[in-house]
Amino acid sequence: MEKRFDRKTVQDKLKQSLNRRINIIFLIITALIMLLILKVGYLQLIKGETYAAQIAAVENVEINNSVPRGRIFDRNGVPLVTNSSQKSIMYTRDRVTSQSELLDISKKLTNYIKMPIDNITERDKKDFWIISNRDKVEERMQKELDLFKDGSLSQQEYDQALLKKITNKDLESISDDELQQLAIFRIINGASELAPVEVKGEDVTEEEYATVSQNLDELPGVSTSMDWDRVYPQGDVLKTIFGKVSSKEEGLPKDLLDYYMARGYERNDRVGKSFLEEQYELTLSGKKTKMRYVTDKSGKIKSTEVIEPGQRGDDLVLTIDIKFQKKLEEIVEKHLKKLQKMDEEWSEEPIMDRAFIVVQDPRNGDILAMVGKIIDEDGNVSDYAYGTYQTQYMLGSSVKGATVLTAYQNNDLKVGQEIVDEGLKFKGRTSLMTSFFNPTGSKYPMDDREALQRSSNIYMYKLGLKAMGLNYSYNMGLPLDVSEASEDFQKGFHQFGLGVETQIDLPNESKGYQPKLEGNFAAIQLLQATIGQHYSYTPMQATQYVSSIANDGYRLRPHIVKEVRSATNNDELGPIKRNVEGTILNRIDNSNKEFKQVQNGFLDVYNKLYGTGYEYFAHKLPVTAAGKTGTAQRYIGKKNGEDQFVYNLTNVGYAPAENPVISFASIVPDTPMKPDRTFLPSHEIEAEMITEYFKLNKHLLPENSKGFTGEDEQSVKDGNDQLETINQN
């Protein structure tokens, strides 16, 4: 009885143990099933779209194709830069195209198009010979191939050895037909997968375009399309300022590759690479056409479709008046040729070779015209408009308005204050420092207004001494440390845009040259800076400076773009997308009374007897203008033991004197001075400019304007006749 009980107990225990094991296995299986269900659910519900997109990416690849750039117009809607369509042969490489297939496509294309071969290099020929002569390569390279296989030779060493074994005779064996094939192959072999490249985009004939289009079935990956190129309806006028666009061969600039690639550009995209085209690249480039390439699983292209049409770039409307720009270029060119002839007569070694003038609207910062011309020894004139903001020159007395206003700011001068113009003698210097109008240095008291009118150097020198905390006395010494005074002086000039960037909407602007004043001559250099010596500024900076005086103290950002217009599908300008307005950069820290005093001084320069601009501006203009002339002396070396100098002839001004609508700055560097202290008549440029501007814009003439006299009309005609005569000679 006891034994039966024990046997039953053992059986029960075995049964319970088995049941537990079965339950554990069942739980494990259930858990695995649940995990599987969760995983499948996760893949379908959470990651389903991701994997579907990856599958679709194998079969549907989106590519962006470039579109024509936006156009550029002048302020009146006259086209300056447009596009011309040109026929183009394109190729799109799929994912599995082999080099032998590329060779076959290249060979077939030679039956339909003729390629230029000038760009084929020796390395191109060697690579082509290698691909086309596999058997000969294997025969010549057997030894090197064995070394490469056993690791004794690297891939680079093998390739170099192979290139060395290709002889000139091998390269000469490439036929003319094969060179045509190579010209095509080198392009399509370098193409990225599914990224269209241009095989031929220039000089595609009607016959080539038609025959390729008719035979696309036997040319996999080849297509025909219409490309674009830049056209300049106004010829070379301002062409340097418009800038250039890269070719498809150039593609993206290497130094900006990451910048453009991050914005959806392809390596071979054409982009603006200088001046306006570069500055407004993102505006002009447009919206690319989005294409879908459908491929099979092997990577072969099955079909293409447009999924999002492109749109050419937006248009730019400039502040430039192209009619006025052209007229001003004629004026500058005429006088530059005239001045060159005079320079040759006056100088043993003439070096004058350029002239600049910038015209701006002081009310809003619009650049109405910017002219730079450079002339060679044979009298050939070329455009140098970018020199108006990228090159700098000493301005001479033209800066004296800024000197006086800075002295007001620093409490070194009061409106109407008299200072004696006289010869200055400093310790250690043998010669007197004098004003041009007072060469003997006799005592001549004058106020600030007359000092501007007669261009008193001594008045400005004494303001420079006050900036150093000094009053003049005969044979006085000058301090060595003028750092604080020069810093205050430069800060004052910076308010006008002299010595800082104007912030014009063009790339690579120069901010002029204001070196640190130190050493034994620092004090003298500071005095010279008060009359426009030692420091150099661009014509654009000079224009911003005088505009700030014309508009009662507002420094405006100059700009060459007036509006951005939305792209249209026709030749018409679209609606305004964005206005580019003249931003106020700063208000100059002077009172209205102080500005009025300087403006009156500028008025007297042009319109009062003994004013330095009286001869050119008092009686020859249709309006009353105001401004400040300048002459900066530049040392060029010694000759026969004597110092030799040339002179920058400068002028800043505005018109009409009341409520001005134009301001300007002109510079003719490196001109001679005759022994009788006569300078070249460069200010005729500005006088003619003012007359021509108001002839083109009679609606801007004030009610009390002088009008256009017969003499004015005749002088313009004589000037044009003179230009024609000079060109003929």
Query: Which residues are designated catalytic?
Result: 397
Amino acid making up residue 698: K
Residue 537 has which token pair?
Answer: 């500024």
Q: Are the beta carbons of 62 and 301 closer than 8 angstroms?
A: no
DSSP string, 372-383: EEEE-TT--EEE
Residue 717 has which token pair?
Answer: 């005609």
CA atoms lying within 13 Å on the CB side of residue 89: 31
Tokens 């056409």 appear where?
Answer: 289
Which residues are bridge partners to 247 per DSSP?
Answer: none
User: From CA 510, how far away is CA 384, in angstroms rounded?
Assistant: 15
Give the count of beta carbons closer than 10 Å to the beta carbon of residue 528: 22
Give CA separation, 715 vs 364, 663, 718, in Å.
32, 23, 5
Question: Which residues lie below 8 Å from residue 258, measured CB to CB, with a gap of 6+?
Answer: none
Amino acid making up residue 674: K
Question: Which residues lie below 8 Å from residue 609, measured CB to CB, with a gap of 6+?
Answer: none
User: From CA 495, how far away is CA 537, in angstroms rounded?
Assistant: 14
DSSP string, 689-722: HHHHHHHHTGGGS-TT-----HHHHHHHHHHHHH
- Give Dmax (Cα) for the chain: 153
Residue 476, SS3 per DSSP: strand
User: From CA 341, how far away is CA 351, in angstroms rounded?
Assistant: 11
State how beta strands 72-73 and 315-318 pair: parallel
First-to-final CA distance of the chain: 147
DSSP structural state of residue 46: I
User: From CA 542, how far away is CA 654, in angstroms rounded?
Assistant: 12
Closest CA to 362 of 558, 600, 497, 581: 558
Closest CA to 433 of 380, 478, 401: 478
Tokens 């024509």 appear where?
Answer: 68
User: From CA 697, how far away is CA 708, in angstroms rounded?
Assistant: 12
Helix then strand then coil, % of the chain, to nearest 5: 40, 20, 35
Q: Are the beta carbons of 426 and 478 closer than 8 angstroms?
A: yes
Q: Which contiguous run of DSSP H or E holds residue 339?
A: helix 322-346
User: From CA 604, how far away is CA 612, in angstroms rounded?
Assistant: 9
Q: Are the beta carbons of 672 and 649 closer than 8 angstroms?
A: no
Tokens 């036997």 appear where?
Answer: 218
Closest CA to 690 of 672, 724, 664: 664
User: From CA 609, how far away is CA 400, in angstroms rounded?
Assistant: 19
Question: Which residues lie below 8 Å from residue 447, measured CB to CB, with a gap of 6+?
Answer: 416, 417, 418, 419
Q: Are the beta carbons of 286 and 567 closer than 8 angstroms?
A: yes
Backbone angles phi, psi at 587, to 5 degrees: -100, 125
